Amino acid sequence: MNLQKSKWNTADEVEFTINLALMPKPWFEWHQMQYRLPESSKPRVHDGLWWDRLSPNPELSMDGEFWRIIDRATAETCAADAVDRLDRVGIPRLLELLDRDSLMRAIRVGDFGFDKGSPSMPLAILLSDSGPGPELEEAIAKLEPELVGWKLKDQFVSWVRDRADRHR
């Protein structure tokens, strides 16, 4: 989770949003491998497998994504709304996704929060946690046509299978 300020902030107006993310260990390990990150690297919100933004009350936003502060009163109102949204929406959603079955259901339907996409690659990565098996091989088979032309295709498939072998 992080607080992101707008790049358009001024001395008279501040806008911010709250980003939420979930980065399961196998997803982060693939990121470290793919981007050659050191073992000491830390996950960042925008690298999450699932990430989303909390939406502010429309009365407190110009665009539906960022809270807008123009004075002390709006600062207090935005802070209260942000805490309320975290309590009612953000934290419960993250807690739900910490359950592996809930996360797998979300991934299988392509729900990555803010982004929607193909579940094939994330599914193969997450399934590698359970060791080799028919479900993993099915995920890899469905994924391979999506990876045609990707220079890391063979490396990715080998990495997933090797990781699965280590998690027997």
pLDDT of residue 60: 95
pLDDT of residue 129: 93
Angle CA 39–45–51, to nearest 5? 125
- Decide if pLDDT at 116 tops 80: no
Tokens representing 140?
């890899």
Q: What percentage of the chain carries pLDDT values higher than 70? A: 100
Q: Find all residues with CB under 8 Å of 52, minimum gap 6, and list them.
A: 19, 20, 21, 93, 113, 114
pLDDT of residue 21: 95
Q: How confident is the model at residue 144 (pLDDT cuts 50, 70, 90)?
A: confident
Tokens representing 81?
């709304």
In tens, the pLDDT along 37-80 reads: 998 999 999 889 999 999 999 999 999 999 999 999 999 999 99
Q: How confident is the model at residue 168 (pLDDT cuts 50, 70, 90)?
A: confident
| Alpha carbons 51 and 1: distance in angstroms, whole number | 9
Determine the average pLDDT of the residues in 8-35: 94
pLDDT of residue 156: 94
CA distances from 92 to 21, 70, 130, 166, 167 (A): 13, 30, 26, 32, 30
Q: How confident is the model at residue 83 (pLDDT cuts 50, 70, 90)?
A: very high
Q: DSSP letters along 8-47, please?
A: T--SS-EEEEEEEEE--HHHHHHHHHHTT--TT----GGG
Q: How confident is the model at residue 114 (pLDDT cuts 50, 70, 90)?
A: confident
pTM, rounded to two decimals: 0.87
